[in-house]
Amino acid sequence: MLAVAKCLLALFLAIASAETDAGSGKDFLAYDFLYNEGIKMYLEENWTGCVKNIELALKGWHWWNDNTARYERRASALTKLI
């Protein structure tokens, strides 16, 4: 049980300290916020801003999805050992 708690804590810490682009120095923005900003810029016909925000939203979603799946597999493997 302690191992599962440690794994979940590591997941939350990784998410809290994540960046949208490794080494960019930019703070992490939630992918749903970036997506909504992209849609807003689309409606304003700001194509460059739209593409930039949608691409960042996709990167953020993929990062979230990949890391969540990895930690879920680790937690599942650890619970089998307990």
Residue 78 contacts residue 4 (beta carbons within 8 Å): yes
For the CA atoms of the chain, what is the radius of gyration? 16
| Distance set, CA 49 to CA 2, 8, 37, 63, 74 (Å) | 45, 35, 9, 21, 37
Please tell me the pTM assigned to this model: 0.54
Residue 35 contacts residue 60 (beta carbons within 8 Å): no
| Distance set, CA 18 to CA 1, 23, 33, 82 (Å) | 26, 10, 15, 30
- What pLDDT shows up at residue 20? 42
- What pLDDT shows up at residue 15? 52
Kindly list the averaged pLDDT for each block of 10 residues, start to end, along the chain of length 82: 54 49 53 91 93 91 82 74 68
